[in-house]
Amino acid sequence: MAWSKEEIYQITAEELKDGLYVNLGIGMPTHVANYIPKGVNVIFQSENGMLGMGPFPYAGEEDPDLINAGKQTITAISTVAFHSG
């Protein structure tokens, strides 16, 4: 039986260890940030120059200035850093 997308996100998130820096590419990888186990602190980088990306925002809390490389609205953690180049 094939895994659902949600199962893939969950399995992937469980592989991430506390303190890692992880680059999330466009597509399915962007969903992994929503499945990180409690107590595990991972710093996510969005491919468009944001280090410290948080999970997707709740409905009504979107900030159109915070997007990932796939143009989806995201949140930022308190220690976020933006860079270009």
Cβ–Cβ < 8 Å for 61, 81:
no
Active site residue 62: no
- Starting at the edge strand found earlier in the chain, the sheet holding 50-53 runs 21-24, 43-46, 50-53, 76-82
- Catalytic residue, candidates 14, 15, 47, 62: 47
Residues serving a catalytic function are: 47
